[in-house]
Amino acid sequence: MSVRVRIAPSPTGNLHIGTARTAVFNWLYAHHHQGTFVLRIEDTDAARSRLEYTENIKSGLKWLGLTWDEGPFFQTQRLDKYQQAVQTLLDQGFAYPCYCTPEELDEMRETQKAQGKAPGYDNRHRHLTPEEKQAFEAQGRKPVIRFKIDSDRQIIWQDAIRDSVSWQGSDLGGDMVIARAAENYEHYGQALYNLAVVVDDIDMQITHVIRGEDHIANTAKQILLYEALDAEIPIFAHSPLILNQEGRKLSKRDGVTSIDDFRKMGFLPQALVNYMTLLGWTFPDSTKEIFTLEEAAAEFDLDRVNKAGAKFDWDKLDWINSQYLHTMPVDQLTDLLIPYWQEAGYKIDQDRSWLENLTALTAPTLNRLTDVIKETSIFFADKVEYSDEAMNLLQQAGVAEVISEIVAGVNSTEALTEEDAQALIKQVTKSQKVKKGLVMRSLRASLTGELHGPDLTQTWLLLNQLGADKTRLQETLTKISG
Ligand code: GLU
């Protein structure tokens, strides 16, 4: 049987890193087995679901390259299927109406708390007689539908990541609600999450349910539903959670959690997806840390996924992103950087080759696309701001003479070439009888206000093409002699 997996996000927020990582594992598993990856939008929570979140989830998955083969399917378009399943479970005696009021349930929980018992439904309406039911109906009570869970039942499954997992029926909180109370119509209302998921996974012939370990208790309940519906139980695989530095589940409190946030922070989709793959999985050759989704898919299997939570490591993500930035073709990177320059208000009406040269010069310094704003600010500044160490250098004896001679040299050339630049540095070194290093440092301090930065000759050439080197050298001279 061919592999069919799915990602089933609820559109109650933007695409979350945890969901995206689950999507990565599903995508890799599907592609490893030439299977099918299904997208299902679990939008039954009308109060919290929004169309814009569905759009965000779809565009986020596409941006990451996690394309799906079928769907998106929407649970709100499948409600009648869930109703049918509720009816089947009622007809076959696996489910029953429960007429408890919210007040009665609260009271029950209070009593359980007072007695030091775990809170849960005590199955009090499991065996109502027809007369008792009628009496509740006569009071105008609308029942929820509950699915029977035997306390002494032990639910065991072979998890593809966690090996054997077992749950005791008594730890599932009593008979579970599978359908809300009816609002307008007679019998019962909308089916709830666990039932809808099972009905869909059966219908969509899902062979492997790969999802976060926060769903383990749901899995125990869902297995009971598969049995009651007489359906084949898929293979379950519960992936480890993504943890913050303190070892707690990564959440909004950690700053960013949505894929949009990562995009805005300047991460590349191929780097982010590469990093997410490593959150819980390693390449068989564990020294290989930079790989495409396709390369990972060729090797991916669930038995190499860790059971332990995966700590989110910003330095590692930065490093992986930098590897992609440093090896990306210059024209492609330039296209990606242009919006950042524009957003920073930098004037980028220079010709394309100037921009590409600037890209090539700064690419090795970038960890994130956003770094380019700071790393190239000096090329777009009207005025140089001198750091303290640059100013100290510029005020050393002999530096003014060095700069004066460079100014004279620059003024006598039209457009500077690399050879001109090097010849001029050599000439000044010789005639001023100073070390070459001093000439270089003086030049860098004058042009950029710093003592450190990318290749000096290239920096100078780019500034020269803007006509900015002459003004900056002149301004430096005025400043140090004034
Ligand atoms: N809709 C669920 C969620 O967003 C996922 C359900 C599942 O994968 O079974 O957490």
Is the pLDDT reported for residue 186 higher than 90? no
Interval between CA 8 and ligand 1 midpoint (Å) = 5
Q: What is the mean pLDDT of the chain?
A: 95
Q: Of all residues in the chain, what percent carry a pLDDT higher than 70?
A: 99
Report the Cα 228 to chain-centroid distance in Å: 37
10 lines ligand 1 (CB under 6 A): yes
- List the structure tokens of 237: 């695989």
Give the pLDDT band of residue 257 (cuts 50, 70, 90): confident
- 2 Cα–ligand 1 center, Å: 22
The Cα-based distances of 84 to 45, 91, 106, 198 in angstroms read: 19, 10, 30, 13
* pLDDT, tens only, 115-140: 999 899 999 999 999 999 999 999 99
Distance between Cα 206 and ligand 1 center (Å) = 14
Give me the catalytic one of 113, 117, 252, 264: 252
Environment class of 331 (CB within 10 Å of its CB; exposed 0-12, middle 13-18, buried 19+): exposed
Question: Domains plus CATH for the chain?
Answer: 1-69+240-327 (3.40.50.620), 80-193 (3.90.800.10), 328-380 (1.10.8.70), 388-481 (1.10.10.350)
- Distance in Å, CA 42 to ligand 1 centroid: 7
When pLDDT is cut at 50, 70 and 90, the band that residue 481 belongs to is confident
Distances (CA, A) of 16 to 21, 66, 238, 240, 421: 9, 14, 17, 15, 51
Closest to 9 (Cα-Cα) out of 71, 82, 92: 71
DSSP-assigned beta bridge partners for residue 145: 97, 179
Once rounded to an integer, what is the mean pLDDT over residues 253-262?
87
Closest CA to 192 of 166, 222, 215: 222
Residues 133-155, mean pLDDT to the nearest whole number: 95
Task: Report the pLDDT averaged over residues 457-482.
Answer: 94
Nearest atom (ligand 1) to Cα of 7 = 8
Among 432, 437, 443, 430, which Cα is nearest to 397's? Answer: 432
Q: Please name the residue whose Cα sits nearest to atom 4 of ligand 1.
A: 9
In this predicted structure, what is the pLDDT of residue 184?
A: 55
The per-residue pLDDT for 265 is 95
Is the CB of 9 inside a 6 Å radius of any atom of ligand 1? yes
Query: Which ligand 1 atom is nearest residue 19's CA?
Result: 4
d(CA 50, CA 10): 9
User: 42 in ligand 1 pocket by Cβ < 6 Å?
Assistant: yes
Q: Read off the pLDDT of residues 435-463 as tens digits, 9 standing for 90 and up.
A: 999 999 999 999 999 999 999 999 999 99
Residue 374 is among the residues annotated as catalytic for this protein? no
Where does residue 311 rank: exposed (0-12), middle (13-18), buried (19+ CB within 10 A)?
middle
Q: C-alpha distances in angstroms, 95 versus 85, 123, 130?
A: 10, 11, 15
Give the Cα-Cα-Cα angle 440, 444, 450 (nearest 5 degrees). 130
Kindly report the protein residue whose alpha carbon is nearest to atom 7 of ligand 1.
8
So what's the pLDDT on residue 1? 79
